[in-house]
A and B are shown apart, each in its own frame.
Chain A
Amino acid sequence: MRRLQNRPHLLEVAYDATEKALQPFKKVLKPGGKMEKVFVKGEKLTKGMIFDCRMCGDCVLHSTGMTCPQTCPKTLRNGPCGGVRPNGHCEVKPEMMCVWVQAWGRSQKMPEYGKQILTIMTPVSKNLAGTSAWINDLNSDKVKKVPTGWSEE
């Protein structure tokens, strides 16, 4: 399943389709609602298998080359850091490929969302850990992902 990550374009299409498919169910999919548990299980299973998802609750996969930033040992959302080894491996875990080297490479193969790797990701809200990122996305008006004082200019 992990190999799927090397088909970033396919994954971005799947992301798009899931987002559209969920829209009509917006009313029943509420944070803390009945469906949340089911979604959490489903996300853990599917995104876990494909992306090694850490259930941060604020999914930015499509902005990070369909590569989960929470798997970076420094959990960088705006990586890569300056410690990447000459062979492209991680500073912290030398046996592992740098998550951001992969993210950058994959983003180049994503015609739709690839450019988003250039936008600044906000720091992740730790209080969303373990919740469903899909439900949080559908309820972006209620779920607070961006700190109030974060200025965007």
Chain B
Amino acid sequence: MKSGSRLERVLRSGRFAVTAELNPPDSADPQAVYDHAVVLSSVCDAINCTDASGANVHMSNVGVAALLARAGYDPVVQFACRDRNRISLQGDVLGAAALGVKNVMCLTGDGVQAGDQPEAKPVFDLDSITLIRTVKTMRDKGRFLSGRPIESPPKVFIGGAENPFAPPYDFRPLRVQKKVQAGVDFIQTQYCYDMPRLREFMKQVCDMGLDKKVFILIGVGPLRSPGAAEWMRTNVPGIVIPDAIIERLNGVEKKKQRTEGKKVCIEIIQEVKEIAGVSGVHVMAYKQEELVAEIVEQAGLLPRYWSREPETASNGHVASRN
């Protein structure tokens, strides 16, 4: 165990994991965080706290994560290289760990142009891969990038992202390999709406033996309406939604589109579950968190045993993932 986080325990025990993303509030009130968390808590193993995703300001990643940790949830704190240099990132990793956060997700981050303050200065001192290596160095070698020792290293489970649906497609599995070399423990992918592409990606990942070295969680989420889907794929970086999905939503009455979107998401989860090398799903329900519980339940992923200690690993290859 590297961190002992709930997410790590679930994954290492060989169970199919469910993580969910919390939409951070535009508020200084902790209650706003708890209101969002409570609908997710019983249906997922860990909750992702985004870092100004889409380059829009919200309550900070570490703020949200610390509140969740304090309430007994298992937060995954996301760090994007967009807004902080290496000095700030390393300090924040220590701070988050001190506040009880046990999962750290290392991201490049969306460009500032995607948000509502495109005039901001982008940082990108490190990139996602050098950040992964940096956090691993802090955890396993007990030192900062400068070489200076850390008194009590941050015991964190290190995450990274991948987008199998963005070009160059044949490089994506190799990029996962690079992240594995850098020291990543788990990967969460971008939203999946294109099953053939995901299958191709996972096949390459498994052929390279990467599924034995890293836990892979596939990103999924419901689409509210054809209009919302269209908006997401044009405005949110990295989201690819095939026309066929939008047509399917257009094919039902307006009133039923939301239900249809949920149905699509559940079907995708069920297909994803059967793909070799997949360790779990990461549910992102942008502005429709209340749907997450229904989706997880109807996809047959309940109950979550997160309050119990996991059984010892029954399956050899899971245990071998150091």
Chain A contacts to B: CB under 8 angstroms:
73-86, 88, 91-92, 98, 100-101, 104-105, 118, 120-123, 126, 147-151
Stretch at the interface among B158-166, B267-275, B279-287: B158-166
Interfacial chain A residues near B127, Cβ < 8 Å: 74, 76-79, 81, 123
Total number of residue pairs linking A and B with CB closer than 8 Å:
112
> Which B residues lie within 8 Å of A79 (CB)?
127
Give A94 Cβ to nearest chain B Cβ, in Å. Answer: 9
The 4 closest A-B pairs by CB, nearest first: A82-B163, A148-B147, A83-B237, A78-B129
Chain B 108-130 per-residue mask, 1 if CB under 8 angstroms from chain A, else 0: 11110110000000101111111
Question: Closest approach, in angstroms, between the C-beta of A76 and any C-beta of chain B?
Answer: 5
- Which residues of B are interface residues toward A (Cβ below 8 A)? 81-82, 86, 108-111, 113-114, 122, 124-130, 133, 136-137, 140-141, 143-148, 161-163, 166-168, 170-171, 174-175, 177-178, 181-182, 190, 237-238, 240
Give, as a whole number of angstroms, the nearest-CB distance from A97 to chain B: 10
Bound CA span A16–B145, Å: 31
A147 x B145 contact (CB < 8 A): yes
Q: Which of B108, B126, B128, B140 has the most CB of A within 10 A?
A: B108
Whether B141 and A149, one on each chain, are in contact in the complex, defined by CB atoms closer than 8 angstroms, is yes
- A147 adjacent to B111 (CB under 8 Å): no
Q: Shortest distance in angstroms between B33's beta carbon and chain A's nearest beta carbon?
A: 26
Within the complex, what minimum Cβ distance (angstroms) separates B131 from chain A? 9
* Nearest CB in chain B: distance from A74 CB, A: 5
- A sample of 9 inter-chain contacts (CB < 8 A) reads A78-B130, A80-B168, A80-B171, A83-B111, A100-B168, A120-B182, A147-B145, A147-B146, A149-B146
Nearest-neighbor residue (CB-CB) of B166 within chain A: A84
Contacts of A85 in B (CB 8 A): 166-167
Whole-angstrom distance between the alpha carbons of A100 and B108 in the complex?
A: 14
Measured between alpha carbons, how far is A88 from B169 in the docked complex, in Å?
10
Closest CB-CB distance, B119 to chain A, in whole Å? Answer: 14
What B residues does A120 contact at CB under 8 A? Answer: 129-130, 133, 178, 181-182
Chain A nearest CB, measured from B155 CB (Å): 17
Q: A78-B128, A84-B166 are in contact. Are A150 and B133 (CB under 8 A)?
A: yes
Contact B163 A147, beta carbon cutoff 8 Å: no
* B238 with A82: CB separation less than 8 A: yes
Cα of A121 to Cα of B238 in the assembled complex, Å = 23
Chain A residues with CB below 8 A from B145, complex form: 147-150
By a CB distance below 8 angstroms, the chain A residues around B133 are 120, 150-151
Question: Are B237 and A82 in contact, CB atoms less than 8 angstroms apart?
Answer: yes
Q: A80-B166, A147-B147, A149-B143 are in contact. Are A86 and B240 (CB under 8 A)?
A: yes
Do residues B86 and A82 form an inter-chain contact, with CB atoms below 8 A?
Answer: no
Residue of A nearest to B86 (CB): A123
**B178 contacts which chain A residues (CB < 8 A)?**
78, 118, 120
Q: A122 to B130, alpha carbons, bound, how many Å? A: 7
User: A82 CA to B53 CA in the complex, in Å?
Assistant: 13
Contacting residues, chain A, for B147 (C-beta < 8 A): 147-149
Residue of A80, A81, A92 with most partner-chain B CB within 10 A: A81
Residues in chain B near residue A73, CB distance under 8 A? 111, 122
Question: Are A92 and B238 CB-contacts (below 8 A) given A82-B161, A82-B163?
Answer: no
* A128 CB, nearest partner CB in chain B, Å: 14
Question: How far, in Å, is B108 (CB) from chain A's closest CB?
Answer: 4
- Expressed in whole angstroms, the Cα–Cα distance for A121 and B161 within the complex equals 18
Contact B108 A88, beta carbon cutoff 8 Å: no
Query: Closest CB-CB distance, A7 to chain B, in whole Å?
Result: 20
Tell me the nearest residue of chain A to B130, going by C-beta. Answer: A123
The answer to whether A104 and B171 have CB atoms under 8 Å apart is: yes
A91 to B239, CA, bound (A): 11
A-side contacts of B177, CB under 8 Å? 118
Residue of A nearest to B127 (CB): A76
- Contact across chains for B190 and A92 when beta carbons are under 8 A apart: no
Instruction: Judge whether B143 and A91 touch: CB under 8 Å.
Output: no
Task: With both chains docked as a complex, state the minimum distance between the C-beta of B318 and any C-beta of chain A, in angstroms.
Answer: 23
